[in-house]
Structure 1
Amino acid sequence: QKTTPNVSSTLYILFLILSHSLISSMAHQHEFQTGLAGGEVTLNCTGILPDSKLPRDTVVHWKYYDTPLWYMEKGRSWKTFNADRFVIKMQYKQLWVRNLKLSDAGIYTCEYGTHKVRTSLHIFKLMISLDGHFLQNEVPELILMQNSSSPLLDLRITLFDSNNNTVMPELQNKSRQKYIMNLKKLEAVDSGTWVCQVHSDSPLIDQNIPFAVKVLGFQNPNLERKYATVDSSVILSWHLNTQKIKWKEGFTGQLNWKQQESANPHELLDFNVTAQGQLHETKKSSNFLFEIPERKPESTIEVKLPKVHFNHSGQYQCQLEYQGRHAQSKIELVVMKVSAKPVGPLSRGANMTLTCQVSGPLQPNAYLRWERVNGTKMDIKNSKHNEVKLEVNISVAGLWSCHLIEDSDRKISLHYHVEEAAVWTNYVIIGASVGGSLLVFALGCLCIISNISWQRRRQRAKRMAQARQHLLENKTCQCQQ
């Protein structure tokens, strides 16, 4: 007799197979986790009950590959690993690993009852050259390493600087074990926390690895231009960023001056900054007239020129030195002077030449201008491109000003007052009377004299007095007759 299969029995068998597969998959779980060298990670014994609900006869094992790490049976436990770096969090039997190393990567297994939880731990290690301490314009080297139990991943790496701007590194070497990258030239504003973002599609990894960058340098631009007039006072300052970035290393430096780029530098002072941030300065030059102000902002190198000379112009360079490396910042001092030929005063109808001169080359967008205060457009003259000396011929007295102008901005001005020559008027009156009537003989002489010496005026006055006395004597003789 031919029998037909029992449909309900078939379904039951399928249900048992599926249930067994589901239970098996739940009993053997596979997890993936990442960690950073030097950091810590917690590996879960997934699905285990907390201590309060865990039967006393439960046996729990933690293994690294086949090496036992921790064992618990009937409330008693044994440690077989480094207790300083591997700790069990008892409530859920989690494995806490501290101070991770690349060699800690691999398979960790938690077993309890029929459950087995396998965790693949993938370790990244990020290293930055010079321990993250740089000077301006230096290029850091970044090394990313990885270790895993499975074949190493092909990673995509993106960098973000302290201002969250994307930085494209220059890849020097790429193996799946080690990525060597050069970053950009650093500036003082790049100090802060950077982020190395590591990405993989399979297994899915989006790991952000922060790292610190400290750039010792100046808050001034690399080249600053300062303007001064002859006989004025000026203060030159370099603001270090040591306090801002909490630089905890000692360093030294010096301040040099040279009038021209090709000239030999002249050392003005040297200084050192301790790890506690204390600044000590020593004056080195006795020939160059300058002062070191006592009161100034913290972490500031500052000198004062109390009376600027035209030959004080040039480049003032402040240089830092740290572990044999150097960084520098320059201030270019531009000095202006004015003069007149002849010196004056200006006689009516005469001419005078005013000269305005600056000590160094001007920027392409800069020029000199002479103008008379409260004058007309005819009293304005501008220099040509690259002219550092501007002359103007004048015939009108008054206050004249020379300006150095960059992009319509007056950087500096110097005034020259042209005096008008004095006008002298002399009157001589001689009088006489005849026969009771007063006959007045008057001789008036009006003289307008320019640039006559005091001695010549005295001689003329003496001659006029003698003439007057002679006429009075003649009048007396006529009366007696």
Structure 2
Amino acid sequence: MELCGTAASSVRAVFMVLQLGLTHIMAHQQQIGVEGKEVILNCKRHDKDVIWKYKYDAVSPATIIQLSTGKVFKGRTPMSDRSEINQNSKHLKVLNLRISDAGTYICGCGSDSNSISLHVVKLTISSNGHFLPDDDLELTLMHNSRNPQPRFSITLFNSHNSIVTPDILQNEAPQKYVLKLKQLKTTDSGTWMCNMHSDSPSISQNISFNVKVLGFENTHLERMYAAADSTVTLSWHLNFQKIGWKKFFTGQLNWTQSKAVTLLDFNATADGQLRETKKSSQTLFEIPEMQRDSTVKVKLPKIQLRHSGEYTCQLLNNRRYIQSKTELVVMQVSANPPGPLPKGAEMTLLCRVSSSIPSNIHLLWERVNGTQTDIKKSKQSETEVEVKVTAAGMWNCHLMEDNNMKLSLNYTVEEAPVWISYTVIGVIIGAGVLTFVLVCLGIMFGMSWQRRRQRAKRMARARQHLLEKKTCQCQHRMNK
């Protein structure tokens, strides 16, 4: 019986040792914090009085904060002034975390305690997270923890929660990682996620950060076609309010035809509002008052060919800029001669655009309810096309881009009333008769003038002959 009792005591002792060891292993947790943010460390104890201590390497634990009989006492560790204790849960909150705060945090009462290994990561984003399109994003991760230091694998998720593969510029594991992502776009704006994972010790932590790419909803060159005498409003939608851009920047709206003209100067204030600073005195344009919808506009009332050109909205930030262009092409139809078409007469219809067009665009005259012969197409890159018309009817001029109609204008040729036709015929006949009469009078006048000239010549010769005859007679008498 004594032997059995000794054996049973030994088994119980071994079981207690294994249980204490397992409890210690399970009590040691791993946690990651980010510099500049706060972290909450959980305490397993629920006693009234607890004490939080901090230990780094072989240095003896030092008191961070203590809760005793309902009162809070702070120690002299570097994070004591930035620490708070929840009197109900006994959890520790460390504010404005620093990379030097990494180490072991111990929560306990007497000999019973639990410990947490806190790993602190310092996340640095180039340009403070503010970019222009085509900029490169550079992400630096500095890591600090107690030994053994984990080796992290890093996965980067963009604002659409898709995994992206950056270039690794520097990998000084386990302390420093430098990642680079090239050529950002405005659609990359939003909250990104960096996942840090380690197998030994087992750690997985998501760290979020914001990326803001200033720009326009559309940055590619747009071409707008408009009919003459219509009213057009060109607009550029900025994304700075949508992405929460709070930095100051300036902008311009320019119009380029033969030379560049600045129509508007503006800036964006720190509270996210657009403000006009200078407006052009050009009477061809109207600049509406800026609204709160982050849109820049220019209004063109009753546009003409002279309104055509390239309109550019430009944003400038830190001596760098991004721009969005809209090319305005004005289309016009006309007739020569204008007005009703007399019977038997001919009219020329002209369709033209204000500027050169790409090779995939052409103009096309087409008679409504006409035949294939009533179609006239411009040659490649021609800016105008004309068609000869001898009968009344409606004609359409289409502007075609890759066989898609972008704009269509019509011109109705009206037949002149009969009396106008007779009047025109009478005018034509009268003009012919008058011309004939004038020609006859001219001929008669020319013949009369020719006869007078010949008569004058004969008289001049006669006088000369008489003069010569008299001279001869005088000489004969003197000789006698």
- TM-score band, normalised by shorter chain: 0.7 to 0.9
**1:332-371 pair list within 5 angstroms:** 332-341=327-336, 346=341, 348=343, 351-362=346-357, 365-371=360-366
Q: Deviations over 1:44-102 (max 9, x none)?
A: 343x3432xx7xxxx84623232412476974874223543122334454332111111
Aligned to 2:276: 280
TM-score after normalising by structure 1: 0.76
Cα gap change, 1:157 to 1:25, in 2 (>3 Å): closer
Measure the CA separation in 2 of the matches of 1:153 and 1:73.
33
Check conservation: 1:336, 1:357, Cα contact below 8 A.
yes
Q: Deviations over 1:318-348 (max 9, x none)?
A: 1112232212111110111234455575455
Cα gap change, 1:407 to 1:149, in 2 (>3 Å): same
Aligned to 2:185: 187
Measure the CA separation in 2 of the matches of 1:190 and 1:450.
70
Matched, 1:104 2:95: no
Check conservation: 1:398, 1:418, Cα contact below 8 A.
yes
Structure 1 residue 18 displacement after superposition: 3.1
Aligned to 1:472: none
96-105 or 65-74: which moved more?
A: 65-74
Aligned to 1:198: 196
Structure with bigger helix share is 2
Secondary structure at 2:150's aligned position in 1? coil
Check conservation: 2:219, 2:323, Cα contact below 8 A.
no
Number of matched residues?
A: 425
Check conservation: 1:234, 1:306, Cα contact below 8 A.
yes
Measure the CA separation in 1 of the matches of 2:65 and 2:177.
39
Structure 2 counterpart of 1:282, one-letter code: K
Structure 2 counterpart of 1:105, one-letter code: A
Aligned to 2:452: none
Secondary structure at 2:192's aligned position in 1? strand
Aligned to 1:229: 227
Q: Deviations over 1:180-237 (max 9, x none)?
A: 2233433333332222222222223322111122233222443222111233322111
Cα gap change, 1:415 to 1:181, in 2 (>3 Å): same
Aligned to 2:110: 113
Secondary structure at 1:99's aligned position in 2? coil
Matched, 1:291 2:286: yes
**1:7-26 pair list within 5 angstroms:** 9-10=6-7, 12-26=9-23
Structure 1 residue 278 displacement after superposition: 4.4
Cα gap change, 1:384 to 1:157, in 2 (>3 Å): farther
Measure the CA separation in 2 of the matches of 1:20 and 1:205.
27
Measure the CA separation in 2 of the matches of 1:73 and 1:197.
35
Secondary structure at 1:289's aligned position in 2? coil
2:430 corresponds to which of 449, 456, 460:
456
Structure 1 residue 43 displacement after superposition: 2.4
Measure the CA separation in 1 of the matches of 2:62 and 2:418.
115
2:209 corresponds to which of 200, 208, 211:
211
Identity, in percent, stands at 46
Moved over 6 A (4+): 457-460
Matched, 1:68 2:62: yes
| Ranges in structure 2 where 5+ consecutive residues have no aligned partner | 435-480
Structure 2 counterpart of 1:271, one-letter code: F
Check conservation: 2:274, 2:292, Cα contact below 8 A.
no
2:150 corresponds to which of 149, 153, 161:
153
Aligned to 1:256: 254
Measure the CA separation in 2 of the matches of 1:204 and 1:294.
58
Aligned to 2:463: none
- The alignment yields a C-alpha RMSD, in angstroms, of 3.5
Check conservation: 1:160, 1:167, Cα contact below 8 A.
yes
Measure the CA separation in 1 of the matches of 2:81 and 2:359.
67
Measure the CA separation in 1 of the matches of 2:294 and 2:402.
33
Structure 2 counterpart of 1:378, one-letter code: T
Secondary structure at 1:110's aligned position in 2? strand
Aligned to 2:466: none
Secondary structure at 1:243's aligned position in 2? coil
**1:33-182 pair list within 5 angstroms:** 33-46=31-44, 48-51=45-48, 60=51, 62-65=53-56, 66-70=60-64, 75=69, 78-81=73-76, 82-91=79-88, 93-176=90-173, 177-182=175-180
317-326 or 6-15: which moved more?
A: 6-15
Cα gap change, 1:220 to 1:71, in 2 (>3 Å): closer
Secondary structure at 1:130's aligned position in 2? helix
Secondary structure at 2:286's aligned position in 1? coil
Aligned to 2:303: 308
Secondary structure at 1:186's aligned position in 2? coil
Secondary structure at 1:185's aligned position in 2? coil
| Ranges in structure 1 where 5+ consecutive residues have no aligned partner | 426-446, 461-481
Measure the CA separation in 2 of the matches of 1:420 and 1:142.
75
Check conservation: 2:30, 2:203, Cα contact below 8 A.
no
Check conservation: 2:251, 2:313, Cα contact below 8 A.
yes
Check conservation: 2:276, 2:290, Cα contact below 8 A.
no
Measure the CA separation in 2 of the matches of 1:370 and 1:73.
91
Measure the CA separation in 2 of the matches of 1:34 and 1:61.
18
Aligned to 1:473: none
Check conservation: 2:264, 2:276, Cα contact below 8 A.
no
Measure the CA separation in 1 of the matches of 2:24 and 2:150.
28
Secondary structure at 2:415's aligned position in 1? coil
Measure the CA separation in 2 of the matches of 1:113 and 1:243.
55
Measure the CA separation in 1 of the matches of 2:54 and 2:193.
33
Check conservation: 2:290, 2:296, Cα contact below 8 A.
no
